[in-house]
Chains A and B, each alone.
Chain A
């Protein structure tokens, strides 16, 4: 395990110090991953993304991390922080109350390098459940009005429309841990988002897609996906409500 010596950086006098153990792995030439330790200063509001960017700036520029918005909107910086999937930009170091914190790439996603993972499979399964309104008519034709909805109808799905496709739910899911063909909580929750939308007419085609030996029935309601979701989407609820349609509890 490599350790990098500490350097002083400009922080407030109230700053504390924490050791970040960052998983380093380059599939092109590494046999296995290794942890590198970096001592970083933080204050009450410092996030893990800030700390990792600090590491890149002061210790090792080659640490690979994907990020963009820094405000839990783009869904790019998901990683395993102290054993649980979290968004680095949305998790404060002070929240974890630990002197040594491990940072690893998300589970159940192929690693590109260090903390950056591939999202192709997530986007593929998301696309597979037809994440758009399906109906014969369109609001784009002239003389047509927009599709109206009552506030109650919007409430049915708006929670699930908050998904930022960060992949934390897929990383926490126990089925995803071993089943490479499973659709996953992200896509299933999005299937519910469109099925529950009063403007959508594609319920049957979506239910057919997920009624597969690696579809919705491989969810066992362990709820880990909902516990790690940084946007309150609650995929476990969406999946069970979606399954309610298939079991005849909902129409």
Chain B
């Protein structure tokens, strides 16, 4: 056994295959959050180049405005939209909104909290992220 407590560990935490779309959303929320934090730190550094004057700014812009830079930016847009939309869903859920009402359970005990409202929220977040990513790519490569 890997440890005395027999914990599943990070592998179990990030495994999205066993428990449906809610667990996928949980994983994507974490990944997009970490990705956005990394981008945010990079963005603060990137914008500080303005203090180096026009030459410094233009040099840096040239570095990040190539194809790779646009692709990274489009992924950031997708992460941002997913994290926002799913974040609002999770926040509402955390307040008890849309998680159903307590009631005597009947077999086969489908959990009321895993309802279509939240599933629609998750799928909407994924679709909107994809659309925003496409739009971002169109804007960046269209110019």
**Chain A in direct contact with chain B (Cβ < 8 angstroms):** yes
Please determine whether A234 and B111 come into contact, CB atoms closer than 8 angstroms: yes
* 8 Å CB contact of B109 from A25, A84, A231: A231
A2-10, A14-22, A156-164 - the one binding chain B: A156-164
Does A134 touch B at the CB level, under 8 Å? Answer: no
B residues 12-28 with Cβ under 8 Å of A?
12-14, 18-20, 22-23, 25-26
| Min distance, Cβ A210 to any Cβ of chain B, angstroms | 14
* 8 Å CB contact of B113 from A27, A84, A180, A236: A236
Among B29, B95, B106, B113, max chain A CB count under 10 A is at B113
- Offer 9 A-B interface pairs, CB within 8 angstroms, sorted by A: A84-B18, A108-B6, A178-B7, A221-B94, A223-B19, A223-B22, A223-B111, A231-B109, A236-B111
Please determine whether B103 and A162 come into contact, CB atoms closer than 8 angstroms: no
Please determine whether A250 and B96 come into contact, CB atoms closer than 8 angstroms: yes
* 8 Å CB contact of B102 from A27, A156, A227, A228: A156
Compute how far the CA of A249 lies from the CA of B20 in the bound complex, rounded to whole angstroms.
28
Please give me the residue from chain B that is nearest to A32 by CB atom.
B1
Using A117-B6, A177-B9 as known contacts, say yes or no to A159 and B105 having CB atoms under 8 A apart.
Answer: yes
Please give me the residue from chain A that is nearest to B94 by CB atom.
A243
Using A117-B6, A178-B13 as known contacts, say yes or no to A243 and B96 having CB atoms under 8 A apart.
Answer: yes
* 8 Å CB contact of A178 from B9, B90, B112: B9
| Min distance, Cβ A1 to any Cβ of chain B, angstroms | 17
Q: Which residues of B contact A232 (CB under 8 A)?
A: 105-107, 109, 111
Does B143 touch A at the CB level, under 8 Å? Answer: no
Using A108-B5, A110-B6, A221-B93 as known contacts, say yes or no to A155 and B104 having CB atoms under 8 A apart.
Answer: yes
Please give me the residue from chain B that is nearest to A221 by CB atom.
B93
Q: Which residues of A contact B93 (CB under 8 A)?
A: 221, 240
| Min distance, Cβ B32 to any Cβ of chain A, angstroms | 13
* 8 Å CB contact of B96 from A156, A174, A223, A249: A249
Does A186 touch B at the CB level, under 8 Å? Answer: no
Compute how far the CA of A156 lies from the CA of B99 in the bound complex, rounded to whole angstroms.
14
Please determine whether A240 and B94 come into contact, CB atoms closer than 8 angstroms: yes
Using A236-B113, A244-B96 as known contacts, say yes or no to A177 and B102 having CB atoms under 8 A apart.
Answer: no
Compute how far the CA of A3 lies from the CA of B8 in the bound complex, rounded to whole angstroms.
26
Compute how far the CA of A200 lies from the CA of B85 in the bound complex, rounded to whole angstroms.
37
Please determine whether A222 and B19 come into contact, CB atoms closer than 8 angstroms: yes
**Which residues does B use to contact A, with CB under 8 Å?**
1, 4-10, 12-14, 18-20, 22-23, 25-26, 29, 90, 93-97, 99-100, 102-107, 109, 111-114, 118
Compute how far the CA of A25 lies from the CA of B4 in the bound complex, rounded to whole angstroms.
12
> How many A-B pairs fall under 8 Å by CB?
146
Please give me the residue from chain A that is nearest to B17 by CB atom.
A83
* 8 Å CB contact of A110 from B4, B12, B106, B107: B4
Please determine whether B7 and A226 come into contact, CB atoms closer than 8 angstroms: no
Please determine whether B26 and A241 come into contact, CB atoms closer than 8 angstroms: no
| Min distance, Cβ B126 to any Cβ of chain A, angstroms | 16
Please determine whether A108 and B109 come into contact, CB atoms closer than 8 angstroms: no
Compute how far the CA of A224 lies from the CA of B52 in the bound complex, rounded to whole angstroms.
51
Q: Which residues of B contact A237 (CB under 8 A)?
A: 99-100, 102, 111-113
Please determine whether A172 and B95 come into contact, CB atoms closer than 8 angstroms: no
Q: Which residues of A contact B113 (CB under 8 A)?
A: 223, 226, 234, 236-237, 240
* 8 Å CB contact of B7 from A157, A180, A227: A180
Please determine whether B7 and A243 come into contact, CB atoms closer than 8 angstroms: no
Does A33 touch B at the CB level, under 8 Å? Answer: yes
